[in-house]
Amino acid sequence: MTENIPIWQYKEKRYSNCWKLVDRRNFVPENRQTEWVNNAPVHIGSNQTTSQPTLITNMLKHMDIEKILSRTRKIRVLDIGSGSGVVTALLACIIGKGSKCHNKASCNEVIGIDIYQNLVHQASNNVKKIRNKDHFASMKFRKINAYQLFSHPTMLGKFDLIYVGAEPKKPSDVQKFKRGVPKLLAKGGIAIGPLEGVLQKYEHGYWEKLDVHIRFVPLQNIKKHHTTQKLHYGGESSAIEKKQKRLIKEEHASRTSLKCEESDKMCDIVAITGRSAKLYRNHLFPDFKSMNELKKWSKDKCIIDVGSGINTIYNKSFLAMLTRNKLGRDVLGVDIAKVHATRKHKRHARFVKGNIKTLKLKQLKLNKRCKKKIVLINNLLYLWIDKPSELMKSYKNLFSWLTPGSQIRVFPVYFGRYDMYNKKLKDFIDSKCKVEIREPKITAEEMYEWDSRKKSKVYLKKPLLKDEKNINKRLGAKTLILTMK
């Protein structure tokens, strides 16, 4: 055996060149450098390991990479549970840049995801140590919970190959895995990973058990970014609830509640505003790490902005951003007052006039190809419509629009009290939806308000909106995500 070259590197000649280029030493922690040569797992931190090379190579062989390489288009590969990044690097070496790599957008790419931020950081640093990776496909690492990706399969797009380096253990996680991985595959794609103690391969629409018994670290499903809030009604928490209700009452007393007639005439005292796409992401989509992720997720959805104000004619709004990028199967605003587009103000999205409590689904005239409907509500429910009985009417009508998997996203919900301290309202919402309370990024920004007399926008500078930001912070404003069961 040549000095410093392990025997396993020669046994698998098919991949030996890439193993040499990648150099496993680059992916082993400093305090375990003597272990790189062994054909055995190595601990990399966070109770995770990098697998033995022969097992990795065996899994890669079962992926039929050559079949995928015969395609002429750009190839995309996903490494779930990327850990140290060694498999991501190997895959990038094996598939190469691609024959159509004339610019970055057309080159092959491998994305490694892991739930642990320290491992994502470690992997990013490890691949930088590779001396010669000129012909490698591009490599990216992201901190993503794989189970969240299964729930939002458009987040990263489709992949031709998926390698999974960790094993779902709970029966419920196994089922999520089996259903979720195929959603991430492009037509004709192949996935391989550990399931129920054996290696399994997904191809041609089903999972096939291979005669390879394995034991992997768990594919974790850590839910740190949201909580399902337990709400109390009296007892030890009554003093806290009283204080919360008093603060909310004081805030509402400084406004006039929304009491519009059924004729749908807008009350003069309600401001008609426009909010930017950035603010919507901060307030209504705190579970997305970037606008690009959000764009991909929105691609096949019907987006309905309830209480849309001037968002249908405001060129920086979320609706305008979706329309401009040709995202969403349908994009529309709903409000009880219609803001007329003029030569100065191009309409960026459809508008439907109606009251949230009475507007029927058929009146929305939605695209029938919508897979899911997403209702966005900024500064309406819980802010202007705040009585439990009125909230109940609003939700009953909203729920009649939606199918399982559709969502309602609301901001702000003070102290996360989506029940407004009313058990009947809570039980009703809980019976229809999965409830998530998220921590938003509370920001204030310059925005526009509509002057109904002048038929024009009035510019509001950020200092004028600091009060709104401070109120949201003082009252513990949360983002409410309701997913229909």
The answer to whether 214 and 197 are in contact (CB under 8 A) is yes
User: With DSSP H G I counted as helix, E B as strand and the rest as coil, what are the percentages for the chain, rounded to 5?
Assistant: 35, 25, 40
What pLDDT score was predicted for residue 263? 35
Q: Are residues 180 and 313 in the same domain?
A: no
What pLDDT score was predicted for residue 254? 55
Domain that holds residue 27: 7-213
Residue 221 lies in a domain: no
Domain boundary among the residues 163, 179, 213 is at: 213
Residue 1 lies in a domain: no
Residue 218 lies in a domain: no
Q: Are residues 151 and 236 in the same domain?
A: no
DSSP at 99: T
Q: Which residues of the chain have pLDDT under 50?
A: 1-3, 225-226, 236, 256-270, 457-464
- Tens digit of each residue's pLDDT (9 = 90 or more) over 278-308: 999 999 999 998 999 999 999 989 999 998 8
Helix (H, G, I), strand (E, B) or coil at 297: helix
Residue from 153, 155, 169, 199 nearest 59 by CA: 199
Counted residue by residue, the chain has a size of 485
Name the amino acid, one letter, at 481.
I
Looking at beta carbons, which pairs linking 390-398 to residues 24 or more positions away fall under 8 Å? 390/357, 391/420, 391/425, 392/424, 392/425, 392/428, 393/357, 394/356, 394/357, 395/428, 395/429, 395/432, 397/356, 397/357, 397/358, 397/359, 398/306, 398/356
CATH code of 455's domain: 3.40.50
DSSP at 167: B
Q: Are residues 256 and 115 in the same domain?
A: no
Residue 220 lies in a domain: no
Percent of the chain topping pLDDT 90 = 48
What pLDDT score was predicted for residue 71? 76
Q: What is the enclosing helix (H) or strand (E) of 331?
A: strand 330-335
The answer to whether 447 and 276 are in contact (CB under 8 A) is yes
Q: Are residues 278 and 174 in the same domain?
A: no
Domain total of the chain: 2
Alpha-carbon span 74 to 67, nearest angstrom:
14
Per-residue tokens: 105: 């957008």
Q: Nearest-5° angle of CA 85, CA 88, CA 94?
A: 140
For residue 314, the Cα-to-chain-centroid distance in whole angstroms is 25
Q: How many CB atoms lie within 10 A of CB 387?
A: 12
Q: Are residues 333 and 423 in the same domain?
A: yes
For residue 469, the Cα-to-chain-centroid distance in whole angstroms is 25
What pLDDT score was predicted for residue 258? 35
- Tens digit of each residue's pLDDT (9 = 90 or more) over 173-222: 999 999 999 999 999 999 999 998 899 999 999 999 998 888 788 888 87
Sort 22 into a burial class: Cβ within 10 Å, 0-12 / 13-18 / 19+.
buried
DSSP at 290: S
Residue 331 lies in a domain: yes
Domain boundary among the residues 153, 178, 213 is at: 213
Residue 293 lies in a domain: yes
Per-residue tokens: 237: 């928490």
Task: Quote the pTM value.
Answer: 0.52
Q: Are residues 154 and 245 in the same domain?
A: no
DSSP at 36: T
Q: What is the enclosing helix (H) or strand (E) of 377?
A: strand 372-378
Q: Are residues 98 and 175 in the same domain?
A: yes
Q: Are residues 258 and 194 in the same domain?
A: no
What pLDDT score was predicted for residue 462? 45
What pLDDT score was predicted for residue 259? 36
Residue 11 lies in a domain: yes
Residue 149 lies in a domain: yes
Sort 231 into a burial class: Cβ within 10 Å, 0-12 / 13-18 / 19+.
middle
Question: How would you classify residue 85: left for phi > 0, otherwise alpha for psi between -120 and 50, otherwise beta?
Answer: left
Q: Are residues 184 and 315 in the same domain?
A: no
Q: Are residues 414 and 276 in the same domain?
A: yes
Q: Are residues 179 and 310 in the same domain?
A: no
What pLDDT score was predicted for residue 463? 44
E strands in 9-126? 42-45, 48-50, 76-80, 109-114
Domain boundary among the residues 213, 248, 279 is at: 213
CATH code of 84's domain: 3.40.50.150
Alpha-carbon span 261 to 187, nearest angstrom:
52
The answer to whether 364 and 304 are in contact (CB under 8 A) is yes
Per-position DSSP letters for 411-460, written without gaps between them: EEEETT-TTTT-HHHHHHHHHHEEEEEE--------EEEEETTTTEEEEE
Q: What is the enclosing helix (H) or strand (E) of 176?
A: helix 171-183
Q: Are residues 382 and 237 in the same domain?
A: yes
